[in-house]
Amino acid sequence: MIAKAEPQEHMRRKRDAYWADLVGGVTGRYKTEQVARLLEGHQLPEDSAVVDVGAGTSGLGDMVAELGGAARIIRVDYDEGIVATGRAAETDPAVEWRVADARDLASWSDRVGAVTYFDILHELYSFVGREGENPAVDHARGRAAVEEALSAAAKLLAPGGVLVITDDVLPEEEVTVGVACLRTEIAELVRRIEGEYRSRPLEIRWLDDHTFELPARTFITLLTHYNKPKVGDEARWSVEQMEVHEYMKVSEYESFLRSAGLTPRIAAGTPPEALAEWRADFEVLSGLDDFPLKRVAVVAVK
Ligand SMILES: C[S@@+](CC[C@H](N)C(=O)[O-])C[C@H]1O[C@@H](n2cnc3c(N)ncnc32)[C@H](O)[C@@H]1O
């Protein structure tokens, strides 16, 4: 097993900047709809539990339990503070809270009908993927940590059980994209992010004051993060600077999950509000026909 990271700094920053958006905002609504659609009509194995990994403060695991008819919910987080607060406030006897790392599931013996990862795998990728003091995430190392967690979960699932994943997604196309900033403030913002973001080199090549080229895989990273400093949300920007949100393409989810013995259903798309904001700030000039897709939702059946 890959050594566990100790992302204390991340936990500290996040406690100061915990975001409601992941559950109730644009992203929260979008991912809830995507997952509900993919899960429609799927009955979870009888008497099984939903294990919501990286549950944080969200109740999205409850939706999966309700839709699939699960008997119990086990909320898991490696942040002891989150678990202690959740446990103290819990009134539902069918809900249990556990402190555990996403990769600990290999040693569990519960009867599990669903394991859910709502916007947590990118954290595993980012923190385990970093070696020593190097601020850049090593892709192979991060990816191996994600695969280790998903493989353990796939083994734990009872037949007919599901893995559920939501996150940001890498574009399929490995191309260089030409981009124009539509206002001077946006060009200045891109230069700021270029200077401050260390988790993945953005590889931006400026062509003039307002126009640049970069790989499609870092264009989506830029699009994911730029609106936090844009609106002055410095607390959230300080958290997200430590993260890479995009670690797999749709085709990579597909092939990895099949090799783990699961049958995936996958939906990829962009929340309309995010697309409207991108269109107001940038224009795609070359390389792609349009902006890359932002979000992925996966339901993989055992
Ligand atoms: C971005 S939040 C998402 C919270 C919630 N699932 C949602 O969608 O709103 C990620 C959560 O995963 C937890 N987390 C990150 N890495 C983890 C790991 N390796 N094992 C367990 N929990 C982890 C964090 O503490 C945090 O609560």
What pLDDT was estimated at residue 11? Answer: 65
Alpha-carbon gap, residue 284 to 288, rounded angstroms: 7
Cβ atoms 253, 165 nearer than 8 A? yes
Give the pLDDT confidence score for residue 27 in this predicted structure: 87
Contact in structure between 74 and 110 (CB atoms under 8 Å): yes
Contacts of 299 (CB under 8 A, 6+ apart): 35, 38, 39, 42, 162, 163, 164, 264, 265
Q: Which of 161, 160, 132, 121 is nearest to 248 (CA)?
A: 121
Of the candidates 221, 236, 264, 34, the one whose C-alpha atom is nearest the C-alpha of residue 125 is: 221
pLDDT of 3: 45
- Residue 28 is predicted with a pLDDT of 87
Residue-by-residue pLDDT tens, the chain, 302 positions: 444 445 566 666 665 555 445 556 788 899 999 999 999 999 999 999 999 999 988 788 899 999 999 989 999 999 898 899 889 999 999 999 999 999 999 899 999 999 999 999 999 999 999 988 889 999 999 999 999 999 999 999 999 999 999 999 999 999 999 999 999 999 999 999 999 999 999 999 999 999 999 999 999 999 999 999 999 989 889 989 999 999 999 999 999 999 999 999 999 999 999 999 999 999 999 999 999 999 999 999 99
Q: What is d(CA 165, CA 121) in angstroms, rounded to the nearest whole number?
A: 8
Cα 298 to middle of ligand 1, angstroms: 17
Tell me how far the alpha carbon of residue 137 lies from the centroid of ligand 1, in angstroms.
18
Using a 6 Å cutoff on CB, does residue 123 contact ligand 1? yes
Q: What is the pLDDT of residue 155?
A: 96
C-beta of 54 in contact with ligand 1 (< 6 A): yes
Ligand 1 atom 23 nearest Cα: 54
Say if ligand 1 is within 6 A of residue 101 CB.
Answer: yes
Q: What is the model's pLDDT at position 23?
A: 58
If we measure between CA atoms, which residue out of 237, 193, 231, 239 comes closest to residue 212? 193
From ligand 1's centre to the CA of 262, what distance in Å?
A: 23
Closest C-alpha to ligand 1, atom 25:
79
CATH tag for 8-169+247-270+293-301 (out of 3.30.565.10, 3.20.20.70, 3.40.605.10, 3.40.50.150): 3.40.50.150
Chain centre distance of CA 293: 14
